[in-house]
DNA sequence: GGCACCTCTCGTACAGTGTGCGAGTGCATT
DNA sequence: AATGCACTCGCACACTGTACGAGAGGTGCC
């Protein structure tokens, strides 16, 4: 996971291809199934090999190390994102942001990859490239095109990541709003500012609140970007 | 790392205290030294024990598992952040955002913790509480106070996290702007939109560009939040 | 003094991890 | 028939977090 030096699967030629047994596609597909079912910690080379009816180390013929495999599945995640064309930039940016969030929530393990691995795969490039086109069409110029793009994705990462962490930490225990309220009160007991104006009803439907919070921030970010447009 | 059920060091009473040998403080201090020197992957209970002149498993008297230890060091990170008082909210928010970024860059391993672990420690509470006060003083009301806060931190996380990932992946090889330009050209060869208006000089001083990008987004986010204020 | 108890340390062991190495298999080409 | 390539995989290594239980040292009570 922690990179030793800068390389990427996407910067070197893949194996010759035309193999009878395993294949990258098959390996990636099985990995994603395992990841969706058991999370990032549940993906081990041995388990993956077993799922494929192969030895663990056979995978290393197709992939240099686990990190490369993760880069491959990572790009599949990008492949699920919607980058709309032929609509106004605000609309396009909104749709993209919502779709990023949906994809991340659908594949919680992707939160551990997003922003950590180099995003140089074809799907990531498609999205990044569409986003650049979108912001250029909006009127941004020069480096601002990239600044705007990274501002948008930064917000979506940063907002969705804790949401996912929270979901996963909750998923194995049934959620009890009352217990939660009690917990918050305990944690905040010495911090009056944390309680002032706190809406306790919010804990009844946390995912609804999360959605509203996401939208609030997204609108703010888009408004802020709009102000940066050259007159 | 992946939580089984929702608990936190901060929600249970610590050990009685008054111990002759080790102590939580000492353990946390040594952990941070190890983390700063070798990163998250470099922190193992055995290494930590060795550094403390103790057995690896002795640590488990003070801490239930490694995750609890991480929660403790995590809160120390929050302790390094500056939450200014008695200044206008925009100024306060800027200072806080910059200080979050600085702290993260100073402790790159914190990027793997931020947003993943529950932030219920005293230092995290101090910052969160100050931030709520700040946004309430700015004029936000009700849930908007929290929405504004999480928008700001989301941006800072999301922006700084990839920056850190990039730094760490670069740190072990000397950075060569020319090689980098070549790499980008290779990765983007089939995506004309990625090259259009690309500023190749940017690769000469990447950290300067990162700082400018951070500021661009921060100003945008603050502008956007300002527009959400009730008239 | 003797005994019980509590606090704290730590060696050992277990079940797992990623992956380097080298032997082995089967097919295609010469 | 022989050579070589594409591919598989068992084994081994060094490492991880941590459960368990034995033991050490101190304190308080009878």
Find how far residue A38's CA is from the centre of its chain: 17
Report how many Cβ contacts below 8 Å link chain A to chain B.
228
Whether this model's pTM surpasses 0.85: yes
Cβ–Cβ under 8 Å, residues A107 and A62 = no
First to last CA, chain A: 44
CA distance A46 to chain B (A): 20
Strand D atom within 7 Å of B51 CB: no
Q: B54 pLDDT band (50/70/90 cuts)? A: very high
B185 versus A88: the higher-pLDDT residue is A88
pLDDT single digits (tens) B188-215: 889 999 998 888 888 899 999 999 999 9
Q: B17 pLDDT band (50/70/90 cuts)? A: low
Per-residue pLDDT averaged across B93-105, rounded?
A: 98
Report B:22-61 residues touching A (Cβ under 8 A).
39-41
pLDDT over 80 (residue B14): no
- Residues of A in Cβ contact (< 8 Å) with B179: none
Q: What is the pLDDT of residue B131?
A: 97
B156 versus B168: the higher-pLDDT residue is B156
User: With an 8 Å Cβ cutoff, are A125 and B191 in contact?
Assistant: yes
Q: What is the pLDDT of residue B16?
A: 58
pLDDT single digits (tens) B106-143: 999 999 999 899 999 999 999 999 999 999 999 999 99
Q: What is the pLDDT of residue A2?
A: 36
Q: What is the pLDDT of residue B229?
A: 97
User: With an 8 Å Cβ cutoff, are B165 and A115 in contact?
Assistant: yes
Per-residue pLDDT averaged across B21-45, rounded?
A: 95
Cβ–Cβ under 8 Å, residues B222 and B90 = yes
CA distance A34 to chain B (A): 16
Which residues does B224 contact at the CB level (< 8 Å), separation at least 6?
A219, A220, A221, A222, A223, A224, A225, A227, B151
Q: Which of A116, A142, A186 minimises the CB distance to B165?
A: A116
Q: What is the pLDDT of residue A17?
A: 52
Distance (Å, rounded) from C-alpha B211 to C-alpha B218? Answer: 10
Burial of A213: CB neighbours in 10 Å, binned 0-12, 13-18, 19+: buried
Q: What is the pLDDT of residue B97?
A: 98
Per-residue pLDDT averaged across B65-82, rounded?
A: 97
Residues with CB under 7 A from strand C: A 43-47, 56-57, 60, 65-67; B 15-16, 18-22, 49, 54-58, 60-62
Q: State which residues of chain A have pLDDT below 70.
A: 1-6, 13-20, 172-173
pLDDT over 60 (residue B96): yes
């Amino acid at each position: 996971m922690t990179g030793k030096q800068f390389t990427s699967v996407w910067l070197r030629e893949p194996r010759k291809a035309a193999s009878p047994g395993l294949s990258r596609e098959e390996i990636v597909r099985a990995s994603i199934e395992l990841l969706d079912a058991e999370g990032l910690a549940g993906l081990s080379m041995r388990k993956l090999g077993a799922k494929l009816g192969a030895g663990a180390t056979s995978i290393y013929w197709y992939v240099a190390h686990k990190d490369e495999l993760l880069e491959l599945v990572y790009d599949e995640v990008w492949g699920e994102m919607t980058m709309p064309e032929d609509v106004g930039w605000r609309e396009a940016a909104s749709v993209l942001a919502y779709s990023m969030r949906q994809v991340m929530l659908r594949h919680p393990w992707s939160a551990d990859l997003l922003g950590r691995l180099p995003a140089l795969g074809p799907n990531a490039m498609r999205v990044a490239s569409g986003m650049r086109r979108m912001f250029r069409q909006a009127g941004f110029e020069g480096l601002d095109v990239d600044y705007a793009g990274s501002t948008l994705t930064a917000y979506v990462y940063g907002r969705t990541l804790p949401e996912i962490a929270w979901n996963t930490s909750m998923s194995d225990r049934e959620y009890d709003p009352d217990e939660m309220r009690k917990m918050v009160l305990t944690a905040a007991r010495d911090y009056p500012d944390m309680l002032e104006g706190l809406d306790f009803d919010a804990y009844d439907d946390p995912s609804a609140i999360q959605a509203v919070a996401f939208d609030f921030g997204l609108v703010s970010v888009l408004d802020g970007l709009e102000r940066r447009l050259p007159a």
